[in-house]
Structure 1
C-alpha cells in the first residue's frame, strides 16, 4: 500500500476555532440568565440585547427574562452590518454600561454584536433563530462605502451559543429556505479549502446532508419542531465548517449582498449551483464526499443543488434579482477588490483570509468570478445541455 505521506499546516487564530460553549435543544433559551452569569471569571452583570426591528418583540421577551441583568435593548440590526451601525452600537453599549452582548435573531443580529465586540472586546452570547451559521465563527462581513469586507478576530467569536428550535418555528418558509441554502453554501465552500481542519471536514459533509434532507420537509411543514430542530443542527455543523475559511462562494455572494442589496441567504442560493459546478472539476475529492452524502454522483451535484434552489422557489439567475449586464461587470470588479480597505475602515487581523494564499483549488480570480456570474446570469441548470 503506497499511501502518500500526509503533510499540512492550518492557519491559527480564528480559523477552525469554534465557540467554547454550545447549548442545543428546544427550550434551552430558558437558561439564558445562567449563561450570562457564567461569562468570564466572575460572570457578567449587564447585557445589551441586540436584535432586528422585526425581532424586537423576542428581544423584549429575553430582556424581561434576564431581568436586572439587562442593560438595554438595541433592536436596530440590519443585514450586511453597516460600519456606521456598528459604531453606534458600541456607543450605545458604553452609554448603558453593558459588559456583554446577547444577540438574538439571524445573521444581522449576530453580525452587529460582532461589530460591537470587534473593538470593545465584550463577550457575546448568540441565540440564533435562522440557519446562517455566523454564530459559530469569529469572522464578520462589515459593509463600508457599499463594499462588504471580511474581518476576523477571536473577540468576535461568541463565548456561548444557545440553539433553541422553538425560536425558529415562526420563521417564514421562504426565509427559512434561503437561510438553509446559506448554511449549505458554507459546506460547499469550505470543504475544499486546505485551511479546513480534518477534524471539521466531516461537519461540512454531514451538515450538507442534513440541510438537503431536511429542507423539503420543512417547507411542507414549517411548524414541525422536529424538522426545525434538525435544520438547526445542520446549521450548527455548517457553521463549524465555516470556521475553516472562505472561498469563491462567499466572495461572490458577499458582493451581491453588500454592494447590490441582495438578501444574504438569497445571494448565496443564487450562485451556489454555479460555484459548485466550478468547484467539482477542481476539487473532485472533497466535493465527491458531499455528493456521496447527498446520494448523487459528483458530476450531478451542481444540478442537484440547482433543483434544490428552484424547488424552494428561490432565484437562480441575476435577472431574477433585477441585476443586468452592467451589474455583472461591476460585481466582478468589486469582488476582486473587496480586500482593499478605504481610510477609516477597521483593519482586519494581518492574517485575514486570502483564499489564494491558503491554496484554494478555486482561486478568486477574474476568470473564475466572471465565469460564475456569467453562469448565474444565464440561469441554466448545470449539466443540462
Structure 2
C-alpha cells in the first residue's frame, strides 16, 4: 500500500549557507588522535593554536606533544557560554603567536571558543570533542554578550576536520556523560521539526535520537567500555549533524538559562527537554511521532522525563538554582531572542508555562 508521502507532491526548500552543511572530513576511531599532526599538515597548517579549558589542559598538552614543532601555543582558558571578552582575548592570542590553524580539544566550551576566534580570523579548525554536545559539527555558536547568549552563524566557524577518538571520553564522569548525552538528544529533537532542516538531516536526527538513548544507558552502566563510548560518540556526531539543520525553542530557552542564569549547558537542555518535546508535539505531531518510533517509546516527552530519573539527573530547575522570581526574566529573554523556527508559538504565556513546569519538576504535559 502506498503511504501518504508517496501519494503527495513533495515540496521543500532549505536556506543554504551554513544550514545543513557539515565538516568535509571526519576521522572516527580509537587512537585517531595520534594522527593530529598529519591532519594539521593536510590543511596546510604549520602553527597550530591548541584551545582547551583549564580542566582539559592535560589533554591539550597531549595534543601539543603529538604536534611537536607545529605547536604555536596552548590556550587553556576556555569557559562555558563563550563570553565575548574571552573570544576577543583568544583572537588576540592567535595573532600574537601567528597561528594559522586552531585545534580545539574538549567539550562545547573549547569548541565554542575556537569557533569564536575563527569567526573573525577565518582560521581552519580541527575539533577533537571529548563530550557529546555535537557542536563541533556545526557553523553555529552561542556567544554571550552583555549577559545574553546570542547565536552566531558563519561558515568560518565550520570545522575543517573532526577527530572522534572514544579513548578520550573514557574518563568523562558519569554525571557529565549523562547530561552531555541529553544535550545531544535535545539537538535531535529540536531539529526534527524546524522548517530549515534538510530531509537527509532529519533522518540523522531520528537515528541520532535512537543511538543516544541506547548508548547513554550502556555508558552509565559501564563507563570504561570502549564500545559503549564509541556508540555514544557516534550518537553525538549524528546529533551534531541534526543541529546543522537548525534549532528552535529548546535551544533558545537553554541558552537563556546558561548565558543569563549560569545553568550548566547540558543540564539546561536536559531539564527543559521533556517539557518542550511535549509542547511541540501538539504542533508537529507527525515529526514527533517519527522520533517516538525511532526511540521505541509511546510519548517522547514522558520518556525523556523517565530517562532523566534513570540517569540520576535533575528533573527540576529549582535543583540547579533557578527561583520562581526568575521565571519572567527567563521567559522575556527567550521570547526576545527567538528565531521564529519553533512549530509552537513562542509567547510569554507559553514559555512561562514551560518554565514553571520545569521549575517544579512536574511531569511534561500536553498544552
TM bucket (normalised to shorter chain) is over 0.9
Q: CA deviation at 1:383?
A: 5.2
Alpha-carbon distance between aligned partners in 2 of 1:336 and 1:280, rounded to the nearest angstrom: 19
State yes or no: 1:13 paired with 2:24.
no
| Aligned counterpart for 2:352 among listed residues 354, 358, 370 | 370
Alpha-carbon distance between aligned partners in 2 of 1:151 and 1:230, rounded to the nearest angstrom: 30
Corresponding residue SS for 1:380: coil
What corresponds to 1:217 in structure 2? 218
Alpha-carbon distance between aligned partners in 2 of 1:175 and 1:80, rounded to the nearest angstrom: 16
**Contact residue 279 and residue 365 of structure 2 kept, 8 A:** no
| Aligned counterpart for 1:379 among listed residues 361, 364, 367 | 361
Alpha-carbon distance between aligned partners in 2 of 1:312 and 1:166, rounded to the nearest angstrom: 22
State yes or no: 1:95 paired with 2:77.
no
Deviation by residue 1:109-134 (Cα, 9 ceiling, x = unmatched): 00000000000000100000000000
Deviation by residue 1:232-279 (Cα, 9 ceiling, x = unmatched): 000000000000111010010000000011100000001000001101
Alpha-carbon distance between aligned partners in 1 of 2:291 and 2:271, rounded to the nearest angstrom: 19
**Contact residue 357 and residue 363 of structure 2 kept, 8 A:** no
**Contact residue 165 and residue 228 of structure 1 kept, 8 A:** yes
**Contact residue 247 and residue 362 of structure 1 kept, 8 A:** no
Q: CA deviation at 1:364?
A: 2.7
Alpha-carbon distance between aligned partners in 1 of 2:210 and 2:347, rounded to the nearest angstrom: 29
TM-score where L is the length of structure 1: 0.92
What corresponds to 2:35 in structure 1? 31
**Contact residue 247 and residue 363 of structure 1 kept, 8 A:** no
Alpha-carbon distance between aligned partners in 2 of 1:313 and 1:142, rounded to the nearest angstrom: 30
Correspondences of 1:70-219 after superposition (within 5 Å)? 70-219=71-220
Which range moves more in the overlay, 111-120 or 314-323?
314-323
**Contact residue 212 and residue 232 of structure 2 kept, 8 A:** yes
Alpha-carbon distance between aligned partners in 1 of 2:335 and 2:282, rounded to the nearest angstrom: 22
Corresponding residue SS for 1:336: helix
Corresponding residue SS for 1:200: helix
TM-score where L is the length of structure 2: 0.96
What corresponds to 1:311 in structure 2? 310
Could you say if the C-alpha distance between residues 383 and 363 of structure 1 is closer, same or farther in structure 2, counting changes exceeding 3 Å? Answer: closer
Corresponding residue SS for 1:126: strand
**Contact residue 133 and residue 240 of structure 2 kept, 8 A:** yes
Corresponding residue SS for 1:127: strand
Alpha-carbon distance between aligned partners in 1 of 2:190 and 2:273, rounded to the nearest angstrom: 9
Corresponding residue SS for 2:98: coil
Alpha-carbon distance between aligned partners in 1 of 2:9 and 2:203, rounded to the nearest angstrom: 21
Runs of 4+ in 1 over 4 A off after TM superposition: none
Unaligned 5+ segments in structure 1 are 340-353
**Contact residue 248 and residue 363 of structure 1 kept, 8 A:** no
What count of residue pairs does the alignment treat as equivalent?
Answer: 362
Deviation by residue 1:3-46 (Cα, 9 ceiling, x = unmatched): 2212111011110000011111111111111110111xxx1110
What corresponds to 1:302 in structure 2? 301
**Contact residue 127 and residue 162 of structure 2 kept, 8 A:** yes
Could you say if the C-alpha distance between residues 206 and 49 of structure 1 is closer, same or farther in structure 2, counting changes exceeding 3 Å? Answer: same
What corresponds to 1:278 in structure 2? 279
Unaligned 5+ segments in structure 2 are none
Q: CA deviation at 1:363?
A: 3.8
Q: CA deviation at 1:295?
A: 1.2
What corresponds to 2:325 in structure 1? 326
Q: CA deviation at 1:204?
A: 0.5
